[in-house]
Amino acid sequence: MAERPEGSAAEGDNRPKLSLHVPEPKFRPGDTVDFSHINVPEAGSMARPDETCDPSEMRDMAFGLVRVLGEDNQAHGAWNPKLDPDTLRKMLGHMAMTRAFDERMFRGQRQGKTSFYMKCTGEEATSVSASMALAADDMVFPSYRQQGILIQRGYPMIEMINQIYSNKGDKLKGRQLPIMYSSREHSFFTISGNLATQTPQAVGWAMASAMKGDSRIAATWVGEGSTAEGDFHSACTFATVYNAPVILNIINNQWAISSFSGFAGAERTTFAARALGYGLAGFRVDGNDALACYAAERWAANRARANAGPTLIEFFTYRAEGHSTSDDPTGYRSAQERTEWPLGDPVTRLKDHLIAIGEWDEDRQEKMDLEAAEHVKKVTKEAEANGILGHGLHHPFRTMFEDVFEELPWHLKEQSKQAIREREIKFPGGLDQ
């Protein structure tokens, strides 16, 4: 029999046995939901530090929650961005359009028109409101649930739908998974399906902007689960060492595809607290409060432009729908969670605020929602004329070899000829080559 390694516990040893902790969510399907463990401070109670302060002065903010909209639907405190009613209505309109777009695309996937889609229901403020606080040419490095940024920046919706359908109008020529958009003209960096890759890319871009003496900053969005990736921690290191003009937005929506945030570290501390170890400015924000989201992003943008350093923001929100059309959340979480979430719905809260200050009403909201739905429906019909999944309206087969090299290497030329020849044999005259 092999001897025990020196120092290991032998039979009869009185040392306690070790045990492994496996995180477990508080609620599973069928459980009664009780979110009383979540501390929701009064709106306006959080102090607003100077935008150029030392990160050490913000330590407690990593464990608090910046909130502006109170239970009375009024704006409170030093974080109130004091936006005019027209801007608030525009913000509400972008959020309504994003929600209408999600509904139509989700339905299209269920009808077999595309293979995949991801909704951002309940998280609209973290993209729409936050991006409105940036300059239009600030470079954004999103994750895959920030379609609201493109809608807010005026990217043609038909281009979004063409990409989702991977049809002949798709500017990315079917080379990206649906919903992974790209637009240089709108300073929207290409979405990657690989988790957290956008975080070091954003920091690198921000460093380059600073080296060139430019005035543009970068902002990136990442889910709380993806902060467990090494890329995220590399981004934090480079950001703080080189004082990169970048904003690291963490969208803590409580769930990854089927595992809760505890697997990424939420049981131990907040995600904003990760800023402390790197010397980053960091704080938490009510992610369902559109005014708080705007104010936080504007604070961080002003800090970056003042060369005062990067900022890490944790947007505390909730993923109301499934992770994607490939996910069924009823299999791993209680159905009550969405309705019991203590921070409410971002669209409803902004609407109620506008009504409370006398700048909106339910009839206008109903009209806005209807117009948004009709607009999305109209543009979807236009995009469908370019093709949908499995209907043959796509880019010519030969294009799969293009756009990588300025001049195609000899071995790829041979592969291209062979592939096209085999395709002609299989589909004689039937498909565009």
pLDDT in tens, 372-404: 999 999 999 999 999 999 887 888 888 888 888
Token output for 297: 């992003």
In Å, how far from its chain's centre is CA 56?
A: 27
Q: Give the residue carrying structure tokens 């902007």.
A: 209
**Per-residue burial over 291-329, b = 16 or more CB atoms within 10 Å of its CB, e = otherwise:** bbbbbbbbbbbebbeeebbbbbbbbbbbbbbbbbbebeb
Residue 1: pLDDT above 60? no
For CA atoms 299, 300, 304, 307, give the dihedral sign. positive
- Average pLDDT for the chain: 95
CA distance 158 to 384: 9
Average pLDDT on 260-283 reads 96
Q: Examine the pLDDT at 6 and tell me if it is beyond 90.
A: no
**Does residue 45 sit in helix, strand or coil?**
coil
What pLDDT, on a 0 to 100 scale, did the predictor assign at position 109?
Answer: 97
pLDDT the model gives residue 430: 60
User: How far is residue 166's CA from residue 201's CA, in Å, rounded to a whole number?
Assistant: 26
Q: Which amino acid, 324? A: S
Q: How far is 382 from 392, CA to CA, in rounded Å?
A: 17
| Residue % of the chain over a pLDDT of 70 | 96
Residue 177 has pLDDT above 70, yes or no: yes
Determine the Cα–Cα distance for residues 28 and 258; give it in Å rounded to an integer.
Answer: 11
Q: What is the pLDDT of residue 400?
A: 85
User: Torsion over CA of 299, 102, 361 and 90, rounded to 10 degrees?
Assistant: 40
Query: Which pLDDT value is given to residue 401?
Result: 87
Q: What pLDDT does 426 receive?
A: 85
What single letter denotes the amino acid at residue 397? F
Q: Point out the least confidently predicted range of 75-84, 89-98, 296-305, 414-423.
A: 414-423
Identify the band that residue 249 occupies on the pLDDT scale cut at 50, 70 and 90. very high
C-alpha to C-alpha distance for 244 and 223, rounded to whole angstroms: 21
What mean pLDDT comes out for the span 138-160? 98
Q: For residue 415, give both structure tokens.
A: 């592969």
Handedness of CA 234, 237, 243, 248 (dihedral sign): positive
Q: Is 110 exposed, middle or buried (0-12, 13-18, 19+ CB in 10 A)?
A: exposed
Reply yes or no on whether the pLDDT at 433 is more than 60. no
Min mean pLDDT across 115-119, 319-323, 333-337, 403-407 is at: 403-407
Q: Taking the CA of residue 37 as centre, how many other CA atoms within 13 Å lie in the half-sphere pointing to its CB?
A: 6
Least confident interval from 240-244, 340-344, 392-396 = 392-396
Beta-carbon contacts of 298 under 8 Å, excluding residues fewer than 6 positions away, are 81, 133
Confidence of residue 432 (pLDDT cuts 50, 70, 90): low
Classify each residue of 361-370 as buried b or exposed e, where b means 16 or more C-beta atoms within 10 Å of its C-beta: eeeebeebbe
Domain ranges of the chain: 55-384, 398-426
Percent of the chain with pLDDT over 90: 88
* CA 238 to chain CA centroid, nearest Å: 22
**pLDDT tens, position by position, 79-95:** 999 999 999 999 999 99
On the question of pLDDT at 7 being above 60, the answer is: no
User: Is residue 195 within 8 Å of residue 165, measured between CB atoms?
Assistant: no
Q: What is the mean pLDDT of residues 279-289?
A: 98
Contacts of 160 (CB under 8 A, 6+ apart): 101, 147, 150, 181
Angle between helices 85-110 and 346-356 (to 10 degrees): 150
* pLDDT value at residue 12: 65
pLDDT the model gives residue 396: 83
Which structure tokens are listed for 71? Answer: 């239970």
3-state per-residue secondary structure call for 269-324: CCCCCHHHHHCCEEEEEECCCHHHHHHHHHHHHHHHHCCCCCEEEEEECCCCCCCC
Q: Please give the class, per CATH, of domain 55-384.
A: alpha beta
Angle between helices 124-132 and 346-356 (to 10 degrees): 60
In single-letter form, the type of residue at position 387 comes to G
Instruction: Please indicate whether residue 170 or residue 424 has the higher confidence score (pLDDT).
Output: 170
pLDDT confidence bin for 327, thresholds 50/70/90: very high
Look at residue 275 in the predicted model and tell me its pLDDT: 98
Token pair listed for 313: 């923001």
Q: Can you give the pLDDT at residue 150? A: 98
- pLDDT confidence of residue 3: 61
Please compute the mean of the pLDDT values over residues 230-244 and round it to a whole number.
98
The string of pLDDT tens digits covering residues 10-50 is: 666 899 999 999 999 999 999 999 999 999 999 999 999 99
Q: For 90, phi and psi rounded to 5 degrees?
A: -65, -40
Tens digits of residue pLDDT in 105-130: 999 999 999 999 999 999 999 999 99
Structure tokens at 206: 């921000």
Q: In what order do the strands lie in the sheet with 281-286?
A: 139-141, 218-223, 246-252, 311-316, 281-286
Q: What is the pLDDT of residue 404?
A: 87
CB proximity list for 36: less than 8 A, separation 6 or greater:
none
The DSSP 8-state label assigned to residue 139 in this structure reads: E
Give the range among 4-8, 112-116, 426-430 with minimum mean pLDDT.
4-8
The tens digit of pLDDT for each residue in 181-209 reads 999 999 999 999 999 999 999 999 999 99
- Left if phi > 0, otherwise alpha if psi is -120 to 50, otherwise beta: which for 72? alpha
